[in-house]
Structure 1
Amino acid sequence: MKDYGHEYADIFYYTPNEFEKLGGLWPLRTGHNVAKANYSVGARIIECFSFHFVLSGAVTLSSMGETVTLTKGSMFCLFPNVKYSYWVSEYDPDSPLRMCWLAFNGTQAESLVRRIEITEQKPYLRNKLTTEMEELLKACMKQIGDRQKDGDLQLQILFYRLFEMLSRPLHDVMEDKLKACMQYMEMHYAEGITVADIAEFTGMHRSHLSTRFKQCFGISPRDYLIKLRMERAGEMLQDGALSITEIALSLGYTDLYTFSRAFGTYYGMSPSNYRSSRMEPPNKMLND
């Protein structure tokens, strides 16, 4: 990758031939980057359409008076002659902003963009990038970079496949992500995981994850984690095989105090009182 000051990037330019221009869609450039902490683009305009896909990290986009933060798996579109700017947000050297992009034009370009429900007012889609789509983008990049003989038809096929993938219903992808998120918590809740860990696992921004998870399941990820731990804590306290400290450590808490405070908030009593109330023998009925 070449060092451009605010990013490391590979950029490939493409000049469509006359045959390609007879079709409805043709590429102009593509590339991928790794952003530095000072990464910022714009404000400016371009004269074509350009899709940008977020591979990791987070980017903030400003266009048409709106500002939005997009994370791994999201994509946005730059429209011709519409002023825009975007920059790195929440820079993390261990997970920097990485993007790939595909600029294009053609008589069908605008219709295809609007077909996937992207507009100047809402130029982005969240959680849209799949593994299949990422492989397709790599294939497009390779095809453009290699400029293989007689590769123009193959490149057009790849382009239309990309739009077909982007046209697939978003809610199915989101529902699968949220179900995977729930399964992840149910599997690892006793290992001290946090909502931030869950967001990283799903590739979603933490606040967006919390909103969509609650919409789908009626409970926030944080509260669901607490529910899993507290229900298991209640079972372990009734069993009586472990001390309260051992239960706390077994459920991923760092110390007894943190566990006891969480337990008291959830059940309205201390773990020791809960254990005593559940382990007392039932009162015997007195005969008259």
Structure 2
Amino acid sequence: MNWKDYGNEKAEFLYHTPDEWEMSEKLWTVRGGQTITKPGYQAGPKRMDGYSIHIVKEGRLLFESGSGGRQFLLRNGDLFCMFPGRTYYYRRPDNCSKLLMSWIVVEGPGTEELLQTAGLTPDEPCLPGRFDAAMQSALDDLFQLMRSGSGADSGEGLRHSLAMQSALLRFFFALLAKDDGARRPESRDWVRRSLRYADLHAAEGLTVEQLAAIVGMNRNYFSTAFAQRVGVSPSQYLAKSRMTKAAEMLKESSASVTEIAYSLGYANPFAFTRAFTRHYGMPPTAYREKAPRE
């Protein structure tokens, strides 16, 4: 460990430069660290360029979020996140004898969605008592990997990137596993999951019952709620997804109509042809002949 004295704290600052492989994912780590503060410790007002997740390991912290000056008193095991584009200030209270913290800074287009799923938003940036041993283990691995660096060898560099990504995902998995069960912005969560799953697996003969089970809902309630939010019934959406896949296969592959029919879970080519003609207004063979000119 490379701890240094910075006057009002003794801290270890760690840095990581994500490679192209990591940045092709939806989130990645850019830095982290830990601190043992001294009396009078404070930070800010400041803004972050990433999503800075802090954990109070021991002691208490006064945290102020946003221009409105909303304040939080955080204790052992509490977690807070500073979001990009907002102003933050935090300090060790005068009557606090000891304050230890750890943090990681994460970037990437999928980060905010994961944080929101865990219950962290710009307006609600704190989670009391959320930190646990599984998150600590993931942090320990992230810190050790940042200390060691990736090395010059390309194979070693890829292994290092994979290890960094694995530890980061373990951290978020532990964070989400400790969700208290409260329903987050629920329409976005289960609808997004069901649409994604339908798009991936509709060609495998996925049923409405199976799709409802994936998101943990009763079939009838799921069908009603899905239609209200998406605008079509689940069966219509599944059929549309299968037809979209069928059209792609007709345009982009040399597979026969029979092969495509069975690949998409139809009982026979005739059932597939009827469904395709009903959806596109022409049989599969005519669609394939016309597709290159579109």
TM-score (norm 2): 0.56
Cα 1:153–1:114 change in 2 (3 A) is same
Q: How does 1:132-151 map to 2 (within 5 A)?
A: 132-148=134-150, 149=156, 150-151=159-160
Q: Which runs of 5+ in 1 are unaligned?
A: 173-288
Asked if 2 retains the 8 angstrom alpha-carbon contact of 1:91 and 1:97, the reply is no
Q: How does 1:177-256 map to 2 (within 5 A)?
A: none
How many residue pairs were aligned? 170
| From 78, 81, 86, the counterpart of 1:77 | 81
* Cα shift readout 1:173-201 (whole Å, capped 9, x = no counterpart): xxxxxxxxxxxxxxxxxxxxxxxxxxxxx
1:118 aligns with 2:120: yes
Give the Å deviation of 1:169: 3.9
Give the Å deviation of 1:159: 0.8
| From 150, 153, 168, the counterpart of 2:162 | 153
SS in 1 for 2:174: helix
* Cα shift readout 1:4-42 (whole Å, capped 9, x = no counterpart): 111000001111111111111111111000011110000
Task: Give the corresponding residue for 1:130.
Answer: 132
Amino acid at match of 1:115: T
In structure 2, how many angstroms separate the alpha carbons of the residues matched to 1:45 and 1:62?
Answer: 12
Give the Å deviation of 1:89: 1.8
In structure 2, how many angstroms separate the alpha carbons of the residues matched to 1:25 and 1:118?
Answer: 16
* Cα shift readout 1:137-188 (whole Å, capped 9, x = no counterpart): 111111111124321011111111111111124449xxxxxxxxxxxxxxxx
Cα 1:92–1:63 change in 2 (3 A) is closer
Superposed structure 1 runs of 4+ greater than 6 Å apart: none
In structure 1, how many angstroms separate the alpha carbons of the residues matched to 2:81 and 2:95?
Answer: 22
In structure 1, how many angstroms separate the alpha carbons of the residues matched to 2:58 and 2:47?
Answer: 25
In structure 1, how many angstroms separate the alpha carbons of the residues matched to 2:134 and 2:170?
Answer: 11
Asked if 1 retains the 8 angstrom alpha-carbon contact of 2:60 and 2:96, the reply is no
Amino acid at match of 2:30: L
Asked if 2 retains the 8 angstrom alpha-carbon contact of 1:58 and 1:90, the reply is no
TM-score (norm 1): 0.57
Amino acid at match of 2:136: E
Task: Give the corresponding residue for 1:103.
Answer: 105
Sequence identity (%):
28
In structure 1, how many angstroms separate the alpha carbons of the residues matched to 2:95 and 2:141?
Answer: 29
In structure 2, how many angstroms separate the alpha carbons of the residues matched to 1:169 and 1:18?
Answer: 31
Asked if 1 retains the 8 angstrom alpha-carbon contact of 2:134 and 2:171, the reply is no
